[in-house]
Amino acid sequence: MISGGVGAARLLAGMVQVTDPARIAAVVNVADDTEFHGLLVCPDLDTITYTLAGAVNPDTGWGLAGETWAALGSLRRHAKANGRADIGWFALGDLDLGTHLWRGHRLAEGARLTEVTAEITRTFGLGLRLLPVSDDAIRTKVTTHDGGTLTFQEYFVRAQHDVDVATVRFSGAIEARPTPEATVALRDAAVVVIAPSNPIVSVGPVLAVPGIGEALSLRRESVIAVSPIVGGAALKGPAARLMTNLGEEASVVGVARRYAPFASALIIDTVDADLAGAVAQAGMTPVVAPSIMDTPERAAELARVCLAGAPR
């Protein structure tokens, strides 16, 4: 599954109910990743891990349930005393910090992000494979109309994505190489599912890695996508506003136009059934099915549609 954060985590939680987790590989976006205080934070990888482990903070969809904030409080005390409001705005909880300390330690030893991710999923007892699309650094950069450039987390968290975006680019994507594990997973999978993640800043950076977009186009008939846009809006996050900012239609039709080159079917929610014809016009086979995963059962049902729906 081509995966971002929360939407992918929900669908994967459905997938593991309907098929053997050992047969599932998630190829995950790494362009949200950001260095904080010398530690690499990987929000999409960690959100999926924590969600599938049943350990995610249910209120936020990221970080760990039952979190405490002692270390962050101490960091913010230093920042306040020394006039550094630019330090400490990204909330790292004490339990979550343990994950970043482990990852930072292992990366400093020379381990690949793919290896470290496998270790973290082992810690949390996950059965599926979580594969960063690349072990190289890819970083989403957003420019705003006043000419400012923001890292993804500055855009998403500090600005609360409440800004209009002029351009989105994935710094490092051109030079990045897909990992061997991700390449093999996308080659050998019976079906590739594009999760209901943000088409621009979650799916986009994965497909921007040289070789990934082409690999999907070659097997387009067995690639199926779940629209992250329902009734013209994103279920969570800035997808609709971003698409509009970039001149794309914030609808299932806009998603179909974006995904048609590398995916053959698009699952759209029942509220968008009247747009099925327009989705077909855009070059994708519409599959109408309930797409709002507000219960585990709904997630499992959508997972079944993905596994059955892909035209062979």
Question: Footprint of ligand FO1 on this chain (CB under 6 A)?
Answer: 5, 32, 41, 43-44, 46-47, 62-63, 90-92, 96, 153, 156-157
Indicate the burial class of 66 (C-beta count within 10 angstroms; 0-12, 13-18, 19 or more).
Answer: exposed
User: Backbone phi, then psi, for 258, in 5-degree steps?
Assistant: -75, -40
Task: Please report how close the Cβ of residue 223 comes to ligand FO1 at its closest, in angstroms.
Answer: 22
Beta bridge partners of 224: 193, 265
| CA angle (188 as vertex; 213, 113 as ends), nearest 5 | 70
Task: Please report how close the Cβ of residue 107 comes to ligand FO1 at its closest, in angstroms.
Answer: 16
Cβ closer to ligand FO1: 165 or 282? 165
Task: Please report how close the Cβ of residue 78 comes to ligand FO1 at its closest, in angstroms.
Answer: 18
What is the rounded distance in angstroms from the CA atom of residue 241 to the CA atom of residue 228? 13
Do the Cβ atoms of 269 and 226 come closer than 8 Å? no
Task: Please report how close the Cβ of residue 156 comes to ligand FO1 at its closest, in angstroms.
Answer: 5
Q: Which residue has the tokens 């990934």?
A: 212
- Would you give the end-to-end CA distance of the chain in angstroms? 17
Cβ closer to ligand FO1: 91 or 260? 91
Nearest to 225 by CA among 238, 206, 244, 247: 206
Task: Please report how close the Cβ of residue 112 comes to ligand FO1 at its closest, in angstroms.
Answer: 20
Do the Cβ atoms of 194 and 259 come closer than 8 Å? yes
Cβ closer to ligand FO1: 62 or 262? 62
Cβ closer to ligand FO1: 46 or 249? 46
Cβ closer to ligand FO1: 103 or 129? 103
